[in-house]
Amino acid sequence: MKKIAIIGGTGGQGTGLALRWARAGHEIYIGSREESKACASADSLKTICIDVACSLLEIEKSDIQAVKEKVPEAKISGFDNLEAAKRADIIVLSVPYSHLIPTVASIKEALTEGKIVVSVVVPLSTAVGGKATTVIAPWEGSASEVIQSLVPENVQVISAFQNVSADRLSDLANTVDCDIIVCGGSKDARKNIMELARDIPGARAIDGGPLQNSRLVEPITALLIGMNIRYKVKEGMGIRFTYLPE
Note the residues at the interface with ligand NAP (CB under 6 A).
8, 10-14, 32-33, 37, 94-97, 99, 103, 120-122, 124, 162, 165-166, 221
Q: Which is nearer to ligand NAP, 16 or 53 (CB)?
A: 16
Q: Kindly state the smallest distance separating residue 143's Cβ from ligand NAP, in Å.
A: 7
Q: Kindly state the smallest distance separating residue 205's Cβ from ligand NAP, in Å.
A: 16
Q: Which is nearer to ligand NAP, 156 or 165 (CB)?
A: 165
Nearest-CB residue to ligand NAP?
Answer: 11
Q: Kindly state the smallest distance separating residue 153's Cβ from ligand NAP, in Å.
A: 24
Q: Which is nearer to ligand NAP, 37 or 61 (CB)?
A: 37
Q: Which is nearer to ligand NAP, 34 or 89 (CB)?
A: 34
Distance CA 238, CA 236 (A): 7
Q: Kindly state the smallest distance separating residue 43's Cβ from ligand NAP, in Å.
A: 14
Q: Kindly state the smallest distance separating residue 189's Cβ from ligand NAP, in Å.
A: 20
**Phi-psi bin for 156: left (phi > 0), alpha (psi -120 to 50), beta?**
beta
User: Quick count: other Cβ atoms within 10 Å of Cβ 139?
Assistant: 7
Q: Which is nearer to ligand NAP, 49 or 104 (CB)?
A: 104
150 and 137 Cβ atoms separated by less than 8 Å: no
55 half-sphere exposure, CB direction, 13 A CA radius: 8
Q: Which is nearer to ligand NAP, 13 or 213 (CB)?
A: 13
144 and 121 Cβ atoms separated by less than 8 Å: yes
Q: Which is nearer to ligand NAP, 96 or 141 (CB)?
A: 96
Q: Kindly state the smallest distance separating residue 58's Cβ from ligand NAP, in Å.
A: 31
Distance CA 121, CA 162 (A): 7
List of residues 6+ apart from 53 with CB closer than 8 A: 59, 70, 71, 72
Distance CA 73, CA 53 (A): 10
Strand partners, 7: 31, 93
25 half-sphere exposure, CB direction, 13 A CA radius: 4
1 and 25 Cβ atoms separated by less than 8 Å: yes
Q: Kindly state the smallest distance separating residue 3's Cβ from ligand NAP, in Å.
A: 20
